Amino acid sequence: MAGRLVSVREGGGLVGAQSRQVTLADIAREAGTSASTASRALSGRGYVSPPARDRLLEAAERLGYVPDASARTLKQRTSRVVGVAVSDLGNQFYALLAAGIEQTLREADYQMVLVSDNSDRAQELSFARTFLAMRAAGVIMTPADSAAASLLARNGVDVVEVDRQLAEVPCDAVVIDNEEGGRLATAHLLELGHRRIGLLVADTDWTTDAGRLAGYRSAHAEASVVVDERLILPIVFHAPDAEQRIAALLDEHAPTAIFAANNQLAEHAWKVLRVRGLRLAQDVSLVGFDDVAWTSMVDPGITVVAQPTLELGRRAAHLLLRRIADPGCEPGFECLEPTLVVRGSTAPPTTPLAEHQP
């Protein structure tokens, strides 16, 4: 093996590929110091005489020294990597969330290992193990189950839940006020005079959807309108029959308005209405959740509950950084407020008899 190493070194003249990574020992030798001194000089921790430091830095620069992260991680038992698991990178919401996380992490000189777990419990758990193996400095996740967070916490890895909360262990979390969002959307429709409001909600036990549903109910209660339970339609993610079921809701229960509790469902609802030739606002009002690009570009624009997605990600990262800096601090919890953006897709209901009014 020594023979192989040597021959590789001799072949180092090959254009393009350096034969061997340059190590601390190399630059120490070059500068005539020990490896420890080199370590101190380059990491900036501990005393090093200015002349020695200069020689070391110069040598490092000249030889193109890049410290080996795995050696450092092995020694320090923690890395500069943060594991991030989201449900679906293909969905603009999660992509933007990840962008916010990455931005903040980058500013603090941490790297993001990003995975998309498809809300699959088994995958989520498997990623937790991977993050454990990497000695991640922390993990930020949109949880689909509590097992991953438990496993991580048990092994001393800090977890931040974002968008949803499911953990059975105490941990930092940042969410938006889903109940308020649901209330804003529903109250807006009720104020316009709607009494039969269809609710399209994800069929999960997530706090997001539970919250939006709760807001839908409380808005009704505040307006003293009783909810027709048949107007509430839980739809499984990526269900192939989502649009058919929405159409059936329209046919069978005659809502005058629809509140779609996430961007995916809003898109489905919008398409169903278009295919059926139903006019937004005039025939059926529509409120979406999450202000994605298309909602402001279609005509009429879609009234939506906007959430500060990028900021959600940033806050999650900040929470994690705070905990890394101060491991003993109390679990942080942040709840960001959504806002209602009224556009042309909502209007007072038109009764069939009043169709010819202006």
For a second copy (CB under 8 A), the number of binding residues is: 52
Identify which of residues 64 and 90 has a Cβ nearer to DNA in the complex: 64
Identify which of residues 134 and 231 has a Cβ nearer to a second copy in the complex: 134
Of 9, 106, 230, 238, which one interacts with a second copy (CB under 8 A)?
106
Please tell me whether residue 62 binds a second copy under the rule CB under 8 A: no
Q: Which of residues 7-26 bind DNA (CB under 7 A)?
A: 20-21, 23-25
When CB distances are held under 5 to 8 angstroms depending on the partner's kind, the choice from a second copy, DNA, none that residue 132 binds is a second copy
Identify which of residues 105 and 257 has a Cβ nearer to a second copy in the complex: 105
Q: How far is the CB of 4 from DNA (least distance, A)?
A: 9
Identify which of residues 111 and 218 has a Cβ nearer to a second copy in the complex: 111
Residue 83's nearest CA partner among 133, 122, 28, 40 is 133
Please tell me whether residue 49 binds DNA under the rule CB under 7 A: yes
What is the spatial distance between Cα 37 and Cα 25, in angstroms, rounded to a whole number? 10
What is the spatial distance between Cα 355 and Cα 23, in angstroms, rounded to a whole number? 80
What is the spatial distance between Cα 96 and Cα 86, in angstroms, rounded to a whole number? 11
Please tell me whether residue 43 binds DNA under the rule CB under 7 A: yes
Q: How far is the CB of 131 from DNA (least distance, A)?
A: 15
What is the spatial distance between Cα 158 and Cα 236, in angstroms, rounded to a whole number? 31
Please tell me whether residue 296 binds DNA under the rule CB under 7 A: no
Residue 83's nearest CA partner among 123, 120, 114 is 114
When CB distances are held under 5 to 8 angstroms depending on the partner's kind, the choice from DNA, a second copy, none that residue 351 binds is none
Identify which of residues 156 and 331 has a Cβ nearer to DNA in the complex: 156
Q: Could you tell me which residues come within 8 angstroms of residue 202 by beta carbon, excluding any fewer than 6 positions away? A: 208, 209, 234, 235, 236, 237, 261, 262, 265
What is the spatial distance between Cα 116 and Cα 173, in angstroms, rounded to a whole number? 19
Q: Which of residues 75-94 bind DNA (CB under 7 A)?
A: 75-77
Q: How far is the CB of 345 from DNA (least distance, A)?
A: 56
Of 9, 62, 129, 230, which one interacts with a second copy (CB under 8 A)?
129
Q: How far is the CB of 162 from DNA (least distance, A)?
A: 30
Q: Which of residues 291-330 bind a second copy (CB under 8 A)?
A: 292-294, 297-299, 310
Query: Helices 121-133 and 147-154 meet at what angle, rounded to 10?
Result: 20
Q: Which segment (36-44, 100-108, 194-202, 206-214) binds a second copy by CB under 8 A?
A: 100-108
Q: Which of residues 9-28 bind a second copy (CB under 8 A)?
A: 16-18, 21
What is the spatial distance between Cα 254 and Cα 215, in angstroms, rounded to a whole number? 22
Both tokens of 76, joined, read 């320090």
- Which parts of the chain are beta strand (E)? 81-86, 111-116, 138-141, 159-162, 172-176, 197-202, 232-235, 257-260, 285-289, 303-306, 333-336, 339-341
Q: Find the angle CA(337)-CA(338)-CA(341) to the nearest 5 degrees.
A: 145
Please tell me whether residue 79 binds a second copy under the rule CB under 8 A: yes
